């Protein structure tokens, strides 16, 4: 596949209907949508290939996705192909995961959530009793209802403007925002709904799907578990990278120009158009920022005032991710495995209040080779092992070794497995590497944190009144981070553009 359109064959100066800065999932999706209405679209990407955080790499027969691993709502991808009357299955495929995740607790008990609802209920009953099973049923019904009443509307539409805030459509939603479950924290809601502390931990963890603190974020986010459990978790055939590979193929087929290894500065013009200079010179009627808005204000638009204005907003978590090639691995493991810390509240207080590396964080181990055998040589496993860290806090070598010791101890106790002896190869991502690779400010995975009810409203919108014809999509702006949300943001932006 060709990722770089040769710069030499570009005219010295050209005019585009739309220029998109950033070739991650959101940039690609907005380009595909807008190409329906605009003829000349240029997508500018700083890396040698597009895809953003959905990148991957290989070593000796092992393959790792570097960033996202949890995949929900594949319909957001399918829509992009259907828009062009193409069969999505000819470009990209996925399968439902039989087991969406296994949660291991410090006392060595575990619960597996699976696509078979009855099986999940049995697992829950074994650990949390018949009452736990009943509470689980009720929780899912209530999060489904809340998603339908407010969640879906909020993430499918632009952030309400002051004028629209009093429209009939919106005022009818307000009563739901005043509900107790929305005003209280996700953790408080979970504690009230579940009598088992195991279940509280499982449902608190969904807050980390947007890099936020379940002890502070709104109970509205109980809707995240609805998306994974009620709607289902999926595995993309070929791994997460296959998602963006399919979008790049479609983008090229429909005539979007993708320019990789390219960085530019964007200059607003008096007639509300923009000029672009740097590795390519061009003019355009409209610009879409599909990168972190902080990096855009700092490096691309060079507006220090805007950058300073948004700097104060608390960031979501970053991560320390180990990519390990395992000679054997753990045969009991599924695709997604979580090892909970002993004291979950302390962990989040360290990450968000003290903004320091947690002493004993929860560990997430993702092994794509369990579902996709080609991702590791026969008998081996490709581990993506992640702990959350505060944005902008760099784990040093001592912390990395401490984490390895902690994980090794846990796996020895749980499976009598010797971690260090089994690792054939190691690489890692941390906040500096994430920032360098994708331009994410402080290496935050999901842009600003959503640690209060108002944080979703305070998030950067899809436009900026100071800059007409400039639009924003992607993980740092409304409606937020995570693949389903950045694809929705691309849709919102494409509908906002007249």
Ligand X SMILES: Cc1cc2nc3c(=O)[nH]c(=O)nc-3n(C[C@H](O)[C@H](O)[C@H](O)COP(=O)(O)OP(=O)(O)OC[C@H]3O[C@@H](n4cnc5c(N)ncnc54)[C@H](O)[C@@H]3O)c2cc1C
Return residues touching ligand X (CB under 6 A): 21-27, 44-47, 52-54, 67-70, 263, 290-291, 295, 299-300, 319, 321, 434, 438-440, 445-446, 474-475, 481-483, 486
Residue pair 352/213 in contact by the 8 Å Cβ criterion = yes
C-beta of 132: minimal distance to ligand X in Å? 26
If the CB atoms of residues 322 and 348 are measured against ligand X, the closer one turns out to be 322
If the CB atoms of residues 72 and 112 are measured against ligand X, the closer one turns out to be 72
If the CB atoms of residues 390 and 481 are measured against ligand X, the closer one turns out to be 481
Distance from C-alpha of 296 to C-alpha of 172, rounded to nearest angstrom: 36
Torsion of the alpha carbons at 182, 187, 192 and 195, rounded to the nearest 10: 150
If the CB atoms of residues 236 and 474 are measured against ligand X, the closer one turns out to be 474
C-beta of 167: minimal distance to ligand X in Å? 29
Distance from C-alpha of 287 to C-alpha of 498, rounded to nearest angstrom: 13
C-beta of 350: minimal distance to ligand X in Å? 19
> Hunting for tokens 């078979």 — which residue is that?
116
Torsion of the alpha carbons at 419, 101, 490 and 299, rounded to the nearest 10: -30
C-beta of 23: minimal distance to ligand X in Å? 5
If the CB atoms of residues 108 and 311 are measured against ligand X, the closer one turns out to be 311
- The count of other CB atoms within 10 Å of the CB of residue 349 is 15
C-beta of 6: minimal distance to ligand X in Å? 17
If the CB atoms of residues 124 and 287 are measured against ligand X, the closer one turns out to be 287
- Tell me: cis bond preceding 155? Omega within 30 of 0 counts: no
If the CB atoms of residues 203 and 446 are measured against ligand X, the closer one turns out to be 446
C-beta of 389: minimal distance to ligand X in Å? 11
C-beta of 196: minimal distance to ligand X in Å? 26
- Closest listed residue to residue 178, CA positions, set 141, 212, 146, 214: 146
C-beta of 301: minimal distance to ligand X in Å? 10
Burial class (CB in 10 A: 0-12, 13-18, 19+), 231: middle
Query: What residues have CB less than 8 Å from 463, skipping those under 6 apart?
Result: 158, 470, 471, 472, 496
Residue 37 DSSP symbol: T
If the CB atoms of residues 154 and 446 are measured against ligand X, the closer one turns out to be 446
DSSP-assigned states of every residue in 411-459: HHHHH---HHHHEEEEEEE-HHHHHHHH--GGG-SSSB---STTHHHHS
């Amino acid at each position: 596949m060709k990722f770089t359109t040769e710069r030499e064959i570009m005219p010295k100066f050209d005019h585009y209907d739309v220029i998109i800065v950033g070739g991650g999932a959101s940039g690609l999706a907005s380009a595909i949508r807008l190409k329906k209405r605009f003829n000349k679209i240029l997508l500018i990407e700083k890396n040698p290939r597009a895809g953003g955080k959905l990148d991957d790499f290989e070593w000796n027969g092992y393959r790792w996705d570097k960033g996202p691993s949890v995949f929900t709502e594949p319909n957001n991808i399918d829509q992009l192909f259907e828009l062009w009357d193409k069969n999505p299955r000819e470009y990209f495929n996925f399968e439902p995961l039989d087991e969406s995740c296994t949660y291991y607790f410090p006392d060595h008990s575990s619960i597996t959530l699976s696509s078979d609802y009855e099986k999940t209920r049995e697992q829950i009953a074994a650990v949390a009793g018949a009452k736990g099973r009943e509470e689980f049923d009720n929780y899912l019904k209530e999060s489904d209802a809340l998603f339908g009443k407010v969640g879906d509307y909020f993430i499918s539409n632009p952030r309400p403007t002051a004028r629209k805030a009093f429209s009939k459509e919106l005022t009818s939603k307000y009563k739901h925002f005043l509900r107790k479950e929305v005003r209280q924290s996700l953790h408080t809601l979970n504690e009230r709904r579940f009598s088992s502390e195991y279940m509280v931990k499982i449902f608190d963890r969904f807050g980390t799907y947007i890099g936020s603190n379940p002890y502070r974020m709104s109970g509205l986010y109980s809707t995240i578990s609805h998306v994974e459990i009620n709607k289902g978790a999926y595995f993309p055939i070929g791994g997460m990278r296959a998602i963006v590979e399919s979008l790049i193929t479609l983008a090229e087929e429909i005539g979007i120009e993708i320019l990789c290894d390219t960085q530019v500065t964007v200059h607003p013009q008096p007639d509300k158009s923009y000029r672009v200079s740097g590795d390519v010179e061009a003019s355009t009627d409209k610009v879409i920022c599909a990168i972190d808005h902080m990096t855009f204000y700092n490096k691309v638009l060079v507006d220090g005032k805007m950058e300073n204005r948004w700097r104060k907003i608390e960031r979501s978590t970053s991560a320390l991710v180990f990519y390990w090639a395992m000679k054997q691995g753990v045969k009991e493991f599924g695709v997604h495995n979580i090892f909970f810390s002993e004291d979950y509240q302390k962990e989040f207080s360290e990450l968000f209040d003290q903004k320091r590396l947690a002493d004993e964080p929860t560990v997430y181990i993702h092994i794509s080779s369990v579902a996709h055998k080609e991702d590791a040589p026969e008998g081996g496993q490709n581990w993506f092992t992640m702990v959350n860290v505060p944005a902008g806090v760099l784990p040093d070598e001592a912390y990395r070794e401490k984490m390895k010791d902690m994980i090794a101890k846990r796996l020895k106790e749980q499976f009598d497995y010797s971690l260090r002896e089994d690792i054939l190869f190691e690489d890692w991502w941390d906040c500096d590497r994430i920032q360098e690779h994708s331009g994410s400010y402080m290496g935050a995975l999901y842009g600003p944190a959503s640690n209060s009810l108002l944080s979703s409203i305070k998030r950067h919108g899809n436009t900026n009144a100071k800059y007409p014809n400039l639009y924003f999509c992607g993980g740092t702006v409304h409606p937020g981070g995570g693949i389903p949300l950045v694809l929705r943001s691309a849709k919102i932006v494409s509908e906002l553009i007249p």
